[in-house]
Structure 1
């Protein structure tokens, strides 16, 4: 609940201050995946094909696992908050660990803010997962992502 309150507070603050930003085409950075279970950290890359549609790929490590995942994201700018976009998307992933692997399907919803006059973009998203493995499946709702990216034109 505290995380959701922080997210809404950040959105309100950026809306009130009238923060402005410029768009970017490609960005590289650091992604953190956290929530129930282990926290995973690693590199990410995001590329926009047009102002609304992007792909984001991550290779993150933690808890004796390597998670490789890719997402399609569709973005909408938030009115009166330039540089702040809401996005929905999802995609597949694979969790590799000693002795096996798990296939993951993940929807996501989040916010991204591109800082004006700085090559930095920040994001926060909710990314629940459906984990599919030999003999069953498991749904995990309590997963979130934070990212910081260096933007390229």
Structure 2
């Protein structure tokens, strides 16, 4: 577990560096575009007499050019939006998640912005027992255009968990078969897919409501890493 946390921390640092590079790249392109636009501005026309029909024609042509051609900045932003929204960030993925216990996850996009994710979580309680839970989530995911590969996502779905009590001097107070709970869970978070690698990392929060008497609980979600296909 300690080695896994170290690897995930290194991946998170690399992701932060990648996002920072994306932001700097956008700022550089923006600055370059502004310089090009400034150079392309028409110089003031002097007092020399110009034939009225030619001036009128030039104005019409300039206006048509402005309405039909996109600036490099607008064209780049529109292209990025089309690329990001045309397809899902990946088709499917498998991975692990940790924070409140450790979990195996599998995710599949059935539409460009909609996915299903299954989560199998294990959480141990020292001296008391262990909890195993399975969750099925429907997720809605959209790109953050300013940073390539970064998406926000929300979702919801049902879950079921079973707590097995450990043999101890308190065993007589607990049912030998353990106890089960079920309910619904909501989730919200961010996911970053590395543009040049089949890796995605995520951070999310998954509050839940237990219909079996447990009520509201906030200890779910965490940090994840997935291998994408």
Fold shared, TM-score > 0.5 on shorter chain:
yes
Alpha-carbon distance in structure 1 between the residues aligned to 2:143 and 2:132: 33
How many equivalent pairs are there? 136
Corresponding residue for residue 223 of structure 2: 146
Deviations 1:9-43 (A, max 9, x none): x6x847624599982100011122x3xxxx22121
| Structure 1 unaligned spans of 5+ | 1-9
Provide the residue aligned with 2:167 in structure 1.
none
The alpha-carbon distance between structure 1 residues 101 and 75, as it changes in their structure 2 partners (threshold 3 A), is same
Q: Deviations over 1:88-129 (max 9, x none)?
A: 111111111121111031111110100011110011111111
Q: Structure 2 CA distance, aligned partners of 1:56 and 1:13?
A: 28
Aligned residue among 109, 131, 135 for 1:48:
109
The gaps in structure 2 that reach 5 residues or longer are 1-15, 27-79, 125-129, 165-177
User: Equivalences for 1:2-151 in 2 at 5 Å?
Assistant: 13=20, 16-17=23-24, 23-32=89-98, 34=99, 39-63=100-124, 64-98=130-164, 99-133=178-212, 136-151=213-228
Q: TM-score, normalised by structure 2?
A: 0.54
Higher relative contact order (CA 8 A, sep 6+): 1
Give me the CA root mean square deviation: 2.5
Inter-partner Cα distance in structure 1 for 2:141 and 2:24: 21
Compare the two structures and name the one with the higher strand fraction: 1
Structure that is richer in helix per residue: 2
Greater radius of gyration (CA): 2
